[in-house]
A and B are shown apart, each in its own frame.
Chain A
C-alpha cells in the first residue's frame, strides 16, 4: 500500500517538501544534466523547432484510456441526487457500459453552483455544456454501487450470532421465516422458539397491569439508520410500522444532530428547528462546534463554495470557535475545549447587553403585527413576563384575565406601563422587574430579557474567560464583531454544539445571541431551511392508509413520555418507595425524529418492555455511536434481541450481528429521494433516480411489500394508493409509489410538460422510465419528465426573499428567554427539575450532576474530539478507495503543547485509552497546532471492524457477494489487490479497509441505577459525541 506523503500535513518547522528547497541545487543540476543530454537527442532527431515550447505539426494524443465525457456518444447522463453524505446535492451521473464512471454536480442545482445555477427553463440538452461542483464523496458513488464486497443475496446466519458465518437463502425462504418465526436456528443447536412478525403483530397489551406500554406489536422495533428525511424511504418504513402497529420506528436523528435541534426547541417552545446562517449575504458568521469548510452540513458545496469566495473578496468574515481549526485560511479560529463554548457565549452576551449592542426595536415587538410594521419577519419573548420562582411565564389568568386572554403571555406596555396580553401591545418593556400576587403570595416577575440579563450578569467577563479558557479579549472582539454588521451577522452551528451533555442548553444560549440582534428571517441573517414541493398529495394520496391498527403505548426509547406518568412510578410512590432514579432515563422533551441509541438501550435492559424483533436498515449504530460497541453486548444476547433482521448492502458492524441480512439497492441503483437540500435557504426538490440497475436480489421496499402481503397489512399491494378520483392503484414495486410521488411534486411545483425531445432523452437515459410510465398517465409522465430531465425542481436564491429582504420560509416563530416546559420537566434520575437556564456550570454533566471530567478521573486528562473527515461519511466510506489512496488511515492529532508535555513526537506510535477502553487503541501521533490544547482529534470512519475489513464465511459467497464485475474498470477503481478475494465460501478481507483507529470505542459509558448506559445529553437522550476524556501515551 503506497502512502501518499504528499497529502500529509507538512510543518513549517520541518523540512518542507513542498517548498523549492525540495529540489536541491544538486538535484536540479542532476536533472538538468539529463535534460541537456535528452534535449540534444530531440534536436538531432527531428526538424529543429523554432520553439521547444510548442510543436505545431503534431496532433494531440489523449493519454491512456480516460472515461468518456458527458458529450461523447455511448454514455448515459442521468440527473440524480447524492447520498455520499446527507446534504442532498444534485448530481449528474455518467454511465458507460453499465458502469458509473463519473459524477458531476447538477448545473440546475443552486447548491452545486454557488447559488447561481443555470436557469430552470434551460433545455436539458444544453445543460450538458455546464457542470456543477461535486465533492469527493459524491465522486465516489461508483465505489458504493460497484463495491466488490456488496451483499447481493439474502443471508441467514450459519453459526452463533456475530460469528461471521452465513449461508445464502432464497428471498422467499427469508420472508417466510421472518414472518412465521419458529425454531429458526434449531440446526445450529439453538433450542428457542423465535416469534416471527406474525406472532408479534398482536393487539393484546404487553402487560395489562401497565396499560401505557401499549400492544404487543410495539415489540417490533425498526431503526432507520438513513437520514430521517431521506424521503420517501423513512415515510415508507413508518407506513409499514404504522400498518404493523408499532410505535417503535426511529431514525438516526440522535446520532446526527438531535441535540442541536433541541437547542432550538428550548428557545421556541418546541415548535421548530433548523435555522442556519445565510452565507450568500452575511457579513459576519461566527461558527460554534462546526468547521464549515470541512464539509459540515450543508456541505462543501452548500456553504464552502460561496463562503470562500465572499470571504476572500472581503465581503464576509468567518470565525470558528471549535476544538479544531477550520480547513480554510480565510476563517479565523478561536480554539476551545468541549463544553466551554457556553461560557464564551454567556460572556459575549454579557458584553452585548452591557454595551447595549442589541436591536431594541426588534426586541420590543411582542407580536407579529407589531413586527410587520417594522419590516420584521418575526418577534420574540424579550418583553414577556416570567415568574422565575414559579418556573414559568406569567399568563393572563394570573391577573384575572378570562376567555381567550387567559392563556396569553403578558407584557408591560412601554407607553402606558400597563400589564397586558402580548397581542394587545405595540411595544413592550424589554427590561422590567416587578411583583404580582399569585395565589395569595407576592411573586417577583421579570421581563424575558431581564431574566437573561440577570443570568449573564451572574459572572464577570473575567470569570467567563477563565471558564472558557479563552482570552477575555477574544470574547470582546467576537461580541463586537457580531454586533457590528446589523442583521447581517449570525452564529452558525450544528451537531458539534448540540451532541454533548446539556448541548441543547448551550444551543439555546447561542440562538438567543441571534435573537438579540434580531437577525431571524433577514437576508444575511439566520434563516430557516426552505421547504419543498410536497410529494404525498397532488395527483395521488400517498399518505392515506385505511384500516391499520390503532397506535398506542410508550416508545422503547422512552421519549415524549414522563416517567411520572408510568404505572411503575405510581406504584413505587403508592408503596412509599423512592421512585428515583428510574430504571433507565425517560425523555419527555425529545420532540424530534428519534433516539435509536436509546431504543436499543431500552432493548438491552428490556425496559420498559422487551423487544422481540429488531429490524435495522442502513444502520450501523455499533460503529457510529459513541461507545457504540456497548451495543455488541445487546445484539449478541438472543434474549434481548430474539430476532435481528438487517437490511443492508454492506457487512457493517451492526449487520454483522444480525440473524438475517436483506440485500438492498444503493442510492444510485434504486433508492429514490423526493425532497430538498438538507439545509438551504432556497426551495428545491432534488430528485433521485437510479443510474444503473440494482444488482442485488432485493430492496427495502420489496421486503416491506412482501412481508405486508403475508401479514395482510394495509398500505401495500393491490389497491394501496388512491388517486384524486378515488380510484385505487397498486403498490407492488417501489416505482408504483415513487413515480406517483414525483407526479405529485410536478403537480405542486406547477412544472410544465417536457418537450418531445426531453421525453425522448429521459426515456433513453433513465432506466426507471418503463416502470414510471406504467405507474402514471402519459400526461403525468410528461410533467415528471420535465423534473427528471433537470434533476428536480429548483427555485433561485432571489425567489426566497420578499421585497423587504425577508425570507419567505422563515416563520414568525418567537424565540423565548425562558422555557416553561423544560423548566418544569424532572430529571428522571433525581426527581429535580432540569436547570431552567443555560448556566455556566451546566455542560459536561451526567444525570446526577457530576461532570464527566470528575467521573473519569484525573488520569484521563485530554478531551477526545472525533469528527468527520471531509472525504468520509460515518460508517459508509471505507469503500471510497480513491479517498483511501489519499488518506489510508487516520491518526491521533495532538496539540504541540500537550505533545511536548507528554514527550510525543510527530509520527510516534501512541496508545489512546479511556475508562471504558482501558486496554486502549493504538495509532500514529500527528503533532499539530490545528487542534486546541487539551484536545485530541481522531477522525471517524476509520478502524472499522466490518465493511470488508474482516473475513466472512458465506456458503454461496460467489453469488452472495458482488465481486469484481467491472472488467477493465476495476484497475483504477479497486485495484488488483482484490483479485480472487472470494475463495470458496471465504470472503477474504481487504486490508486497505478499516485501517487506523476506531475512536468511538473510547467513548464514555457510565452507571445509571446499576445499569451501564452510554453517555447522553440527559435532557433529550442525544448521544454524547463530543465530551469524552482519554489519555494518550507513547508506546
Chain B
C-alpha cells in the first residue's frame, strides 16, 4: 500500500500506463470458460423483471441497481415506439476500472468477470468514476465499498444462471460460455452485428448487444 502511494507521486505513471494499453490489445488464446451475455434489445419489453430479480438475489443497496433498463422513445407520432435497453457492467476486456483502483481491489478473472476484493476495497470510489458505463456504485451499508454486477458469480459456480437471465420474461438476455457456446446463445454469438455499448469507446466487452432493428438509433447503446 505504502509503496503504491509512493509510486503515484513519482512521474512514472504515464509510461506504465502505456505498457498496459499495449498488453491489453492482445487477448491470450484460452480454452477456459469465458462468460458472456448477449442482450437482444428487440426482445426487451421493459418489464423490469431482471432488475428486481438481481436486486433480490444480490440484496443490492436501496436505490442502486446492478442492472437497469433504459427507455427510449423513438420516432415521431404516430410512427412512435418505445425501445428498452437493459444496461449493466459490461465486463470489459480491458476494464478501465481495474487500473483505476490504487489498491488493486478490482480485478478481472480469467473467466472474464470483473470483481472486487472486499478485503482490499477502501471505498475510494476511483473505480466508480473510471467506469465509462456508470455501472459501479458505493454501498452505504458496507462502509461505502463498491458494488456492481458480477454475473451472479456464486450462481455460476453452482451451474446456475445469473438471476437477470433466468427471470427475463422475454428472453432478451442470452448467456453462456463464449468459448463453448450452446443453444440459442451459440446462434447469437455467431452474429456479425453484435455491438458493444458506447461503441465510440472501442472497448471490447463480455456483454454484447443486438441493436434495435426498428429504432432509428438502434436503442440506448
Q: How far is the CA of A788 from the CA of B28 in the complex (A)?
A: 49
- Known A63-B150, A133-B169, A329-B215: A10·B72 in contact at CB below 8 Å: yes
Which residues of B (1-60) have their CB < 8 Å from a CB of A?
1, 3-5, 7-8, 12-14, 16-17, 19-20, 23-24, 26-28, 40, 42-43, 45-49, 51-53, 55-60
B186 within 8 A of A: no
Nearest CB in chain B: distance from A61 CB, A: 5
Contact flags (1/0) for A125-154 with B, using CB distance below 8 Å?
Answer: 000010111111001101000000000000
Q: Which of B129, B160, B168, B200 lies in contact with A69, CB distance below 8 A? A: B160
Nearest CB in chain B: distance from A371 CB, A: 37
Are A18 and B85 within 8 A (Cβ)? Answer: yes
A9 within 8 A of B: yes
Are B81 and A139 within 8 A (Cβ)? Answer: no
Q: How far is the CA of A774 from the CA of B17 in the complex (A)?
A: 71
Are A50 and B28 within 8 A (Cβ)? Answer: yes
Q: Which of B24, B78, B104, B220 lies in contact with A46, CB distance below 8 A? A: B104
CB-defined contacts of A43 to chain B, threshold 8 Å:
16-17, 19-20, 99
Which residues of B (93-127) have their CB < 8 Å from a CB of A?
93-96, 98-102, 104, 107-110, 112-113, 115-119, 126
CB-defined contacts of B75 to chain A, threshold 8 Å:
12, 929
Are A42 and B104 within 8 A (Cβ)? Answer: yes
Are A6 and B201 within 8 A (Cβ)? Answer: no
Are A36 and B220 within 8 A (Cβ)? Answer: no
CB-defined contacts of B101 to chain A, threshold 8 Å:
38, 41-42
CB-defined contacts of B158 to chain A, threshold 8 Å:
69, 71-72
State the total of A-B contacts with C-beta under 8 angstroms.
Answer: 356
Nearest CB in chain B: distance from A311 CB, A: 9
CB-defined contacts of A327 to chain B, threshold 8 Å:
45-47, 82, 84
Are B126 and A133 within 8 A (Cβ)? Answer: no
Segment with Cβ contacts to B, from A279-287, A298-306, A440-448, A688-696:
A298-306
Are A304 and B220 within 8 A (Cβ)? Answer: no
A1011 within 8 A of B: no
Q: Which of A8, A44, A62, A969 lies in contact with B153, CB distance below 8 A? A: A62
Q: Which of A52, A102, A136, A930 lies in contact with B20, CB distance below 8 A? A: A52
B182 within 8 A of A: no
Are B81 and A64 within 8 A (Cβ)? Answer: no
CB-defined contacts of B92 to chain A, threshold 8 Å:
53
Nearest CB in chain A: distance from B84 CB, A: 8
A248 within 8 A of B: no
- Known A10-B71, A70-B160: A54·B3 in contact at CB below 8 Å: no
CB-defined contacts of B219 to chain A, threshold 8 Å:
18
Are A6 and B27 within 8 A (Cβ)? Answer: no
Nearest CB in chain A: distance from B1 CB, A: 8
A103 within 8 A of B: yes
Are B171 and A31 within 8 A (Cβ)? Answer: no
Nearest CB in chain A: distance from B38 CB, A: 13
B194 within 8 A of A: no
CB-defined contacts of A22 to chain B, threshold 8 Å:
198
Are A139 and B49 within 8 A (Cβ)? Answer: yes
CB-defined contacts of B63 to chain A, threshold 8 Å:
2, 4, 885
B207 within 8 A of A: no
A37 within 8 A of B: yes
Are B24 and A53 within 8 A (Cβ)? Answer: yes
CB-defined contacts of B42 to chain A, threshold 8 Å:
308, 312, 329-330
A770 within 8 A of B: no
CB-defined contacts of B112 to chain A, threshold 8 Å:
53-54
Which residues of A (397-428) have their CB < 8 Å from a CB of B?
none
- Known A53-B27, A64-B59, A883-B48: A133·B160 in contact at CB below 8 Å: no
Are A897 and B154 within 8 A (Cβ)? Answer: no
Which residues of A (637-660) have their CB < 8 Å from a CB of B?
none
Are A71 and B94 within 8 A (Cβ)? Answer: no
Are B117 and A69 within 8 A (Cβ)? Answer: no
CB-defined contacts of A28 to chain B, threshold 8 Å:
132, 201
Q: How far is the CA of A38 from the CA of B4 in the complex (A)?
A: 10
Residue count of chain B within 8 Å CB distance of chain A: 119
A232 within 8 A of B: no
B216 within 8 A of A: yes
Nearest CB in chain B: distance from A48 CB, A: 8
Q: How far is the CA of A61 from the CA of B107 in the complex (A)?
A: 11
Select from chain A the residue with minimum beta-carbon distance to B155. A69
Select from chain B the residue with minimum beta-carbon distance to A135. B49
A58 within 8 A of B: yes
Residue count of chain A within 8 Å CB distance of chain B: 102
CB-defined contacts of A825 to chain B, threshold 8 Å:
none
Nearest CB in chain A: distance from B8 CB, A: 5
Nearest CB in chain B: distance from A191 CB, A: 50
Q: How far is the CA of A70 from the CA of B159 in the complex (A)?
A: 11
Select from chain A the residue with minimum beta-carbon distance to B34. A54
Are B115 and A36 within 8 A (Cβ)? Answer: no
Nearest CB in chain B: distance from A7 CB, A: 6
Are B166 and A104 within 8 A (Cβ)? Answer: yes
Q: How far is the CA of A114 from the CA of B166 in the complex (A)?
A: 12
Which residues of B (157-200) have their CB < 8 Å from a CB of A?
157-161, 163, 166-172, 198-200
Nearest CB in chain A: distance from B11 CB, A: 10
- Known A9-B72, A929-B76: A31·B96 in contact at CB below 8 Å: yes
Which residues of A (28-68) have their CB < 8 Å from a CB of B?
28, 31-32, 34-46, 50-56, 58, 60-67
A259 within 8 A of B: no
CB-defined contacts of A67 to chain B, threshold 8 Å:
56-59
A712 within 8 A of B: no
CB-defined contacts of B198 to chain A, threshold 8 Å:
20, 22-23
Select from chain A the residue with minimum beta-carbon distance to B112. A54
Are A44 and B4 within 8 A (Cβ)? Answer: yes
Among B77, B84, B219, the most chain A Cβ lie within 10 Å of the Cβ of B77
Are A7 and B71 within 8 A (Cβ)? Answer: yes
Are B16 and A308 within 8 A (Cβ)? Answer: no
CB-defined contacts of B159 to chain A, threshold 8 Å:
129
CB-defined contacts of B130 to chain A, threshold 8 Å:
31, 34-35, 38
Q: How far is the CA of A479 from the CA of B201 in the complex (A)?
A: 47
Are B49 and A39 within 8 A (Cβ)? Answer: no
Are B109 and A12 within 8 A (Cβ)? Answer: no
- Known A12-B216, A42-B98, A131-B160: A18·B72 in contact at CB below 8 Å: yes
A101 within 8 A of B: yes
- Known A133-B167, A329-B214: A20·B199 in contact at CB below 8 Å: yes
Contact flags (1/0) for B137-149 with A, using CB distance below 8 Å?
Answer: 0010110010110
CB-defined contacts of A35 to chain B, threshold 8 Å:
17, 96, 99-100, 130
CB-defined contacts of B98 to chain A, threshold 8 Å:
39, 42, 52
Q: How far is the CA of A115 from the CA of B24 in the complex (A)?
A: 44
A1023 within 8 A of B: no
Are B57 and A102 within 8 A (Cβ)? Answer: yes
Nearest CB in chain B: distance from A326 CB, A: 8
A896 within 8 A of B: yes
CB-defined contacts of A663 to chain B, threshold 8 Å:
none
Nearest CB in chain A: distance from B65 CB, A: 8
Contact flags (1/0) for A287-326 with B, using CB distance below 8 Å?
Answer: 0000001110000110011001100100000000000010
Q: How far is the CA of A45 from the CA of B105 in the complex (A)?
A: 11
Nearest CB in chain B: distance from A686 CB, A: 17
Can you sample 8 A-B contacts with CB below 8 Å?
A: A18-B219, A31-B96, A36-B17, A55-B109, A63-B150, A139-B49, A329-B212, A870-B48
List the 6 closest A-B pairs by CB distance, nearest first: A39-B99, A18-B220, A929-B77, A40-B13, A929-B80, A44-B7
> Knowing that A36-B14, A44-B4, A65-B59 are A-B contacts, what are 7 other residue pairs whose CB atoms are under 8 Å apart, sorted by A's residue number?
A4-B65, A10-B220, A34-B126, A41-B99, A135-B169, A870-B48, A886-B51
